[in-house]
Amino acid sequence: MANTSSIIDAMNNITLEDEEEGGLAIAGEDVNENVHLFTGFNANLCVVARFITDGHADFQALQQTLAALWKPGRGVYIKELETNLYLFQFYHELDVKRVLEGSPWSFNRRALVMARMKEGESPRSI
């Protein structure tokens, strides 16, 4: 089992991709508005997740923790779509499969329910 200092060192060495590269841009504040997709977006490589319980999670801690746990080979883009709704865009099929097959996942003792997106599907409809 890893000691606390090695976990902290590992967390300090995590780098996430810049939020300006790829992913989703959400138009306006209305959650029912259409999602505009950037070039390179592939819904088949996306997973939408939400917590079973209500409440807000620390988004930065969520990003760092899940990226460290999953260690996706080609990276992951994580976007908070709204309170308690997250989009995970992977860049390789194997990373998506490993995350979905490794579930159930939790963060801060709260269960995270995940579903894979399909082409043309709005992440808010999942």
Spatial separation of the C-alpha atoms in residues 7 and 17, rounded to whole Å: 21
Give residue-wise pLDDT tens across range 60-110: 999 999 999 999 999 999 999 998 899 999 999 999 999 999 989 999 989
Highest mean pLDDT among 1-15, 17-31, 52-66, 83-97: 83-97
Domain residue spans in the chain?
A: 4-125
This prediction has a pTM of 0.66
Residue with tokens 């709260």: 110
Question: Which stretch of DSSP H or E encloses residue 99?
Answer: helix 93-101
Give residue-wise pLDDT tens across range 30-54: 333 334 444 467 888 999 999 988 8
CATH class of 4-125: alpha beta
Structure tokens at 78: 């994580």
